[in-house]
């Protein structure tokens, strides 16, 4: 598992080190889940956004770590943890596909990585995603320079105010960029039972700015209290309430 700052290529001074010789892929011996044919597959575990933009596209299109069985041609995704690094924008997302099934263990590993990362590169921010859609969302949020906790707060507001269109018991919201210019933030609605996209909601940017103003400069850091992390989930907050 590349769960170290070395794997992230963060040098002692917090610069991105030379990645030469660092393994970004790993070979796995598996069996086709459909026909049982043994396969040796190369799985991607570390992605550097700056020099591998095609892999960002692969994540967005759900093509990353998708392999095809030579025998039966079944295509499937190998769900292994992936580090997505964007050194230019100073963020990383650790995508742990089965993380929701072992939250405490993953949180513990994440916090260990986060503290060694903070020691090497204090301005670097680390994020945790369980699902591919969360990884995509977090990349978009960080690329737009938005605060992920504020995005969760806005989702919380949308769920609370529009239970008919965004019932937190039945659907999940994902930030999907700006809608038709800088005026609105778009959230797509995904049915949690089927995993299908069922709609989109646009939230006015000024509402977002107002929420940002509400939390700015508060000594008690209420957003961190609402969403302590490391995994952020507005629905969890509503379900716990």
Residue 29: CB minimum distance to Zn ion, A: 14
Q: What is 151-181 written as a DSSP string?
A: HHHHHHHHHHH-TTTS-TTTEEEEEEEEETT
Structure tokens at 149: 């906790």
Residue 42: CB minimum distance to Zn ion, A: 17
**Per-residue binding letters, 164-203, with Zn ion (x by CB under 5 A):** ----------------------------------------
Smaller CB distance to Zn ion: residue 69 or 93? 69
Distance (Å, whole) CA 131 – CA 96: 7
Sign of CA dihedral 51, 56, 58, 59: positive
Verify binding: residue 72, Zn ion, rule CB under 5 A: yes
Among the listed residues 74, 75, 108, 115, the single contact to Zn ion using CB under 5 A: 74
Residue 71: CB minimum distance to Zn ion, A: 5
Distance (Å, whole) CA 232 – CA 175: 13
Verify binding: residue 71, Zn ion, rule CB under 5 A: yes
Binding footprint of Zn ion, residue count (CB under 5 A): 8
Are β-strands 91-95 and 25-31 bridged in parallel, bridged antiparallel, or unpaired?
unpaired
Distance (Å, whole) CA 232 – CA 73: 37
Distance (Å, whole) CA 64 – CA 146: 25
Verify binding: residue 75, Zn ion, rule CB under 5 A: no
Smaller CB distance to Zn ion: residue 67 or 179? 67
The gap from C-alpha 91 to its chain's centroid, in whole angstroms, comes to 11
Among the listed residues 1, 12, 15, 35, the single contact to Zn ion using CB under 5 A: 35
Verify binding: residue 31, Zn ion, rule CB under 5 A: no
What are the φ/ψ torsions at residue 184 (nearest 5 degrees)? -135, 150
Verify binding: residue 66, Zn ion, rule CB under 5 A: no
**Per-residue binding letters, 105-144, with Zn ion (x by CB under 5 A):** ----------------------------------------
Using CB under 5 A, list all residues that contact Zn ion. 32, 34-35, 37, 69, 71-72, 74
């Amino acid at each position: 598992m590349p769960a170290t700052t070395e794997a992230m290529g963060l040098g002692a001074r917090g610069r991105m080190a030379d990645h030469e010789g660092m393994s970004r892929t790993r070979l796995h011996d598996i069996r086709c889940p459909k026909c049982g044919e043994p396969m040796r597959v190369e799985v991607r575990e570390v992605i550097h956004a700056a020099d591998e933009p095609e892999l960002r596209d692969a994540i967005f299109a759900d093509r990353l770590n998708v392999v095809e069985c030579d025998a039966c041609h079944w295509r499937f995704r190998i769900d292994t943890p992936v580090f997505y690094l964007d050194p230019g924008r100073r963020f990383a997302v650790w995508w742990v596909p089965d993380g929701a099934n072992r939250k405490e263990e993953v949180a513990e590993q994440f916090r260990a990585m986060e503290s060694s990362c903070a020691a090497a590169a204090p301005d670097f921010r680390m994020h945790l995603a369980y699902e591919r859609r969360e990884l995509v969302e977090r990349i978009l949020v960080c690329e737009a320079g938005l605060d992920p906790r504020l995005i969760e707060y806005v989702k919380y507001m949308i769920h609370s105010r529009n239970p008919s269109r965004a019932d937190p018991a039945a659907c999940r919201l994902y930030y999907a960029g700006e809608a038709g210019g800088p005026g609105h933030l778009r959230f797509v609605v995904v049915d949690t039972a089927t995993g299908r996209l069922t709609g989109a909601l646009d939230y006015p940017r000024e509402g977002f700015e107002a929420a940002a103003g509400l939390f700015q400069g508060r000594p008690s850091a209420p957003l961190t209290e609402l969403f302590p992390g490391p995994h952020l989930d507005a629905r969890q907050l509503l379900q716990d309430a």
